Amino acid sequence: MRTRTFVFSFLVHTAMLAAVMVVRIFATTELPEPPISTKFMMAVAETPEAPPPPRRVTQTTTPAVNQSAIPLVAPPSIAPKIPGDIPDTAPVSSVVGAGTFGDPVGDGVVGPPPPPRIVPPPAPQPIRPGGNIRPPQKVHNVAPAYPPIAQAARVSGTVILDALITEDGSVRDVKVLRSVALLDAAAIEAVRQWRFTPTLLNGIPVQVIMTVTVTFNLN
């Protein structure tokens, strides 16, 4: 009895499920819309147009012609060569009998070079007495001549001079340091005739500059 009930119940449930499925199938009249497909678009970047390449300028070079080369084909005629301007004077080396620096005679025999030129040392500068250099002593004195115009004008005074005394004691140059206009020429003329003892420096006579005075007094 239980077996029959189970079989019957199973069949009933199976039939109900089948009926539900059949009703579901027939009840559907419209199919669902398919999903919208996604489209992919690729953006293309715009590239600027490349400028055209520069035009290549072909340079035509003319091959250099060697003027001293020997021609392969003999020319039909040879034009006479026109001489250029002939210099009025020829160079020294081309004159017959004239030699060069090492060949002064020009006979092809080279002699020794000339000796080097000896340059004398510069003269020592004059110095002023002082310290270990003793001033020179006057050995010859000449009294100045009083100018008549200065005597008439009753002009007197002292003229101070710089005298350049050479190695032998003579006076070479005289320069006025303090002037008395009417008496300067007479003072210079007198000092130029003075003589002094030579001034020695390390046993060698040297030039010195010494300041001297010439006094004019009206008696």
| Mean pLDDT score, 71-88 | 61
Reported as a single tens digit per residue, the pLDDT across 159-195 is 999 999 999 999 999 999 999 999 999 999 999 999 9
Maximum alpha-carbon separation in the chain: 199
Tokens matching residue 171:
């006076």
| Domain assignment present for 52 | no
Instruction: Give the pLDDT band (50/70/90) at residue 143.
Output: very high
Question: Which range among 48-62, 78-92, 118-132, 150-164 shows the weakest confidence by mean pLDDT?
Answer: 78-92
CATH of the domain at 184: 3.30.2420.10
The residues that bridge with 214 in the sheet, in sequence order, are 159
* Rounded CA separation 55/57 (Å): 6
| Mean pLDDT score, 86-106 | 51
Alpha helices for the chain (secondary structure H): 2-27, 148-152, 184-191
| Domain assignment present for 151 | yes
Instruction: Give the pLDDT band (50/70/90) at residue 80.
Output: low
Domain containing 144 equals: 138-216
The SS3 of residue 184 is helix
Q: Is the pLDDT of residue 104 over 60?
A: no
Higher-confidence residue of 83 and 214: namely: 214
Instruction: Give the pLDDT band (50/70/90) at residue 9.
Output: confident
Instruction: Give the pLDDT band (50/70/90) at residue 26.
Output: low
| Domain assignment present for 123 | no
What is the tally of structural domains in the chain? 1
Q: Which helix (H) or strand (E) holds 204?
A: strand 204-206
| Domain assignment present for 181 | yes
Q: For every residue of 100-142, which 3-state class applies, written as one string?
A: CCCCCCCCCCCCCCCCCCCCCCCCCCCECCECCECCCCEEECC
Residue in the block written with tokens 């147009």: 49
Higher-confidence residue of 29 and 116: namely: 116
| Domain assignment present for 93 | no
Q: Name residues whose C-beta falls within 8 Å of residue 103's C-beta, 6 or more positions apart in sequence.
A: 109, 110, 111
* Rounded CA separation 89/38 (Å): 107
| Domain assignment present for 22 | no
| Domain assignment present for 200 | yes
How confident is the model at residue 93, as a pLDDT? 47
| Domain assignment present for 103 | no
How confident is the model at residue 150, as a pLDDT? 94
